A = this chain, B = another copy of it.
Amino acid sequence: MSVLIPERILLGPGPSQVPARVLEALGRPTVGHLDPVFLRLMDGVRDKLRRLFQTENPMTLAISGTGSAGMETLFVNLLEPGDRALVGVNGVFGGRMVDVAERCGADVSRMEVPWGRVFDPEEVVRRIREERPDVVALVHAETSTGAHQPLDGIGEAAREVGALFLLDCVTSLGGAPVEVDAWGVDAAYSGTQKCLSCPPGLAPVTLSSRAVARLDRRERKVQSWYLDLTLLRSYWGQDRVYHHTAPVNMLYALDEALEIVFEEGLEARFERHRRHHVRLREGLAELGIGYVTQSGHELPMLNAVEVPEGADDAVVRRRLLDEYGIEIGAGLGAFKAKAWRIGLMGHASSERNVALVLAALERLLD
């Protein structure tokens, strides 16, 4: 390679630390994308993604792109020009959903609260009943603000008015409960590089039978050929019709990452994320560092915290990287230079990393 790859401790907003087992799986010999062994692996990945999303949805697969390709997949497949989308915007990723939906020709209505805050689910329900959109879209775990969106009653309200409920689970999946069927989510997407601790490059998605019915009665072709689920389902389904060449090695890695998730168990994994979040929060409080996120709605895997008075944002992050090999995330948009984003995602959510980042910050802020 042309550069030497250092061993970082990845405590940013993703990619997160990848365990050696997953890296080893990634580096196994490439086989053909229609090889019977590979098709068996794909079946296994699909089954595990269903367990992870807590769904029975037949249409559950991994899109050959990063998390944002997952977002785009759901919007381009479920929206047609003139459809009405109600989108919650309280950070970067809600804003991105608006942009993507508009590029599909949708008529987008924005719900907004300030960055760092969550939507009151009752208010969302009221807006759904009032506007009766075709799609209502929310971010479950807003990576730019650390906000954990409560979803009570939203799936039911969407059903009442015939809307599809679309949920961004990029940062929550595998680190906090995501119960697609129980919550009435019709379409969810995620990425591999957060709480699954797999390198970036795939976007798990799942669609309910209601969402598939919407897809089946589209009037025009999906505007993206690459992300067209009416074609992709023939490759991931029993027909195995060639669409594009799947990123074979990335699927090895995802398979192994999911094996690790279920060896630990979902409940134990969620509890581990909560526990280390609490430990980190206590330690940060001792350093006088609070959260920028609405109290009581902090994400366990992504801690968006204030850059302390007098500290130079960029200098501290750079010294963390240079002196400790630790990556934490900068603030984005409204939080630029005002917040740090400390990720404790998947494999990286450990006592060791909490102790390390607290020790390093204590020294650098001294």
B29 touches A26 (CB 8 A): no
Chain A positions 212 through 242: 1 when the CB is less than 8 Å from some CB of chain B, otherwise 0:
0000000001111111000000000000001
How many identical subunits does the complex contain? 2
Interface residues of A in 1-21 (CB under 8 A from B): 1-8, 10, 12, 14-15, 17-18
User: For residue A64, which residues in chain B have a CB less than 8 angstroms away from its CB?
Assistant: 65-66, 69, 201
Q: Evaluate contact between B2 and A31: CB separation under 8 angstroms.
A: no
Cβ–Cβ contact B28 & A252, under 8 A: no
Bound CA–CA A27/B1 (angstroms)? 12
Contact A245 B66, CB 8 Å, known A3-B37, A200-B33: yes
Apart from A8-B35, A69-B244, what are 18 other A-B pairs with CB-CB below 8 Å? A2-B259, A3-B255, A8-B32, A14-B245, A15-B30, A18-B30, A26-B26, A35-B321, A64-B65, A72-B225, A99-B225, A103-B221, A191-B245, A199-B247, A199-B249, A200-B248, A226-B227, A247-B247
A residues neighboring B (CB under 8 Å)? 1-8, 10, 12, 14-15, 17-18, 23-33, 35-37, 40-41, 44, 64-69, 72, 76, 96, 99-100, 102-104, 191, 193, 199-201, 221-227, 242-250, 252-253, 255-256, 259, 321, 327, 332
